[in-house]
Amino acid sequence: MKHRKCQVLVVGGGPGGYPAAIRAGQLGLDVVIVDKHGLGGTCLNRGCIPSKAFIHAAAKFEAMARHAGEPALGISLQAPPALDMAGLTAWKDGVVKKLTSGVGQLLKAAKAEHINGWAVFENAKTCTVETADGETIKITAEHVVLATGSVEVELPFLKFGGPVIGSTAALDLKQLPEKLVVVGAGYIGLELGIAFRKLGAQVTFVEALDRILPLYDREITRPVTMWLKKHGVDVHLNSKAKGAVTEKGQTFLEFEDADGKMQKLPAGAILVAVGRKPLTEGWGLENMGLDMDGRYVKVDDRCRTGMRDVWAIGDLAGEPLLAHKATAQGEMVAELIAGHRRVFDPAAIAAVCFTEPEIVGAGLTPDEAKAKGEEVITGKFPLAASGRYLSMEAGLDGGFVRVTARKSDHVILGIHAVGAHVAELSGEFALALEMGARLEDIAHTIHVHPTLTEGFMESALTALGHPIHISA
């Protein structure tokens, strides 16, 4: 058995772990990062990036199919496009490979040592790693950064296998299922379900709650609901999946509908998308003496655990389970270890749903602000009044930008938008909240024309009572 001592041991190479290792290396620390399932973690290998590549390809296919019908924009195709699902998957894998290989080069440049293997802790500072090459390495570190990430939630009555798949398997399908049933209408299920519908599959959702995307208010999700109805996607709300059965070679999802009656849906594939949970098993968490906060490792505002010099970041450390949150925490922890003064206290962490249309939110909704005792004013700008939006064929999807501000001093408390490409506004939204912007700050900032960012400026003007491009 080989022995390795280091200043910093990072366990997990996802969007929290690899930035922590890179930043620690940049600061001159002796760093080892252990990861078995591919540098970049779920985000780069099985989540954010491959799903967005898949969604992009689906949108392109749908657009081409539209041009093969009646001409649009003066463009027509003589025949509808043909889908090669295996080719789509191969292209997606190429994007992933390029990015993950880039992470390896960045770690190397930062002089962070990468060990491809699985770490199991025997105590808080020592682990044994079985490498991909069959070696066994014992690592002892002064500081341990836990960045093990999260895994898909598997339902006990819908175990993954055969026609029952999770989001990871959905992105690796070589054939398009004729009928796809999606269990769960949160952001993962909706993103993938909508993409499969664009590719031509018949898609049905079964959701236990009374609404889709429960983290967002109904005003924001209404355009997504409109798209689902327009494209023939059935959504069964207040319905509980019960299991999968096979009859005469056909798979069915059994579920209890809103009236308590048992129903069956034929399915070529059943996509279970009911959330993710922190990866806390299989690597010796129970041997480390850490405090827990429910199913997450308990941390303070510097991501310190209850064990001295052991840190936890990203999905392991609690909501929100977002890659960019993990990255920010990883960079911060590396700097804290190097002696810098930092604290994790963001004003807001923006979140995006790459549905049709896209949704972005940062900060409080009007109802959330009121629940906190705030008296608010809001401004909503319909993107159908945006020249840029119309020039992208996006004027009929019900998209808008909405700002929520405190009435007394006009400090912005929340910003939300729904519409084509609004994900690209997330950075401006987060910055405005982080800087403590007031409505006047946004309204008096000259926004470039024609861009979607003008919608944010116009929403601030609307809240102030004097919009320019809509009637007050």
Q: Which residues are catalytic?
A: 449
Give the Cα separation of 328 and 251 in Å (integer). Answer: 44
In 368-471, at which residue ranges do the beta strands (DSSP E only) sit?
376-382, 400-406, 412-419
What six digits make up the tokens of 288? 């480390």
Q: Is the distance from CB of 265 to CB of 253 less than 8 angstroms?
A: yes
DSSP alpha helix (H) spans, 295-449: 323-337, 366-371, 387-391, 426-434, 439-443
Instruction: Dig out the tokens for 217 from the structure.
Output: 């208010």
- Interatomic CA distance for residues 264 and 241, integer angstroms: 10
Instruction: Please tell me the number of Cα atoms within 13 Å of 432 on its side-chain side.
Output: 31
User: Residue 298 carries which DSSP code?
Assistant: P
The answer to whether the CB of 149 falls within 8 A of the CB of 34 is no
By the 10 Å C-beta count (0-12 exposed, 13-18 middle, 19+ buried), 390 is classed as: middle
Give the number of residues written for the chain.
Answer: 472
256 beta partners: 240, 262
Q: Give the type of residue at 47.
A: G
**Distance in angstroms (rounded) separating the CA atoms of residues 190 and 203:** 10
* Distance in angstroms (rounded) separating the CA atoms of residues 357 and 348: 22
**What one-character DSSP code corresponds to residue 438?**
B
Backbone angles phi, psi at 292, to 5 degrees: -115, 155
Q: Which residues have C-beta within 8 Å of that of residue 132, sequence separation ≥ 6?
A: 36, 116, 117
Q: Are strands 31-35 and 112-123 parallel, antiparallel or unpaired?
A: parallel
Largest Cα–Cα separation, the chain? 74
Sort strands 250-256 and 262-266 into parallel, antiparallel or unpaired.
antiparallel
Paired residues of 31 in beta bridges: 8, 112
Q: How far apart are CA 134 and CA 2, in angstroms?
A: 12
- Report residue 146 as tokens: 């836990």
d(CA 321, CA 78): 45
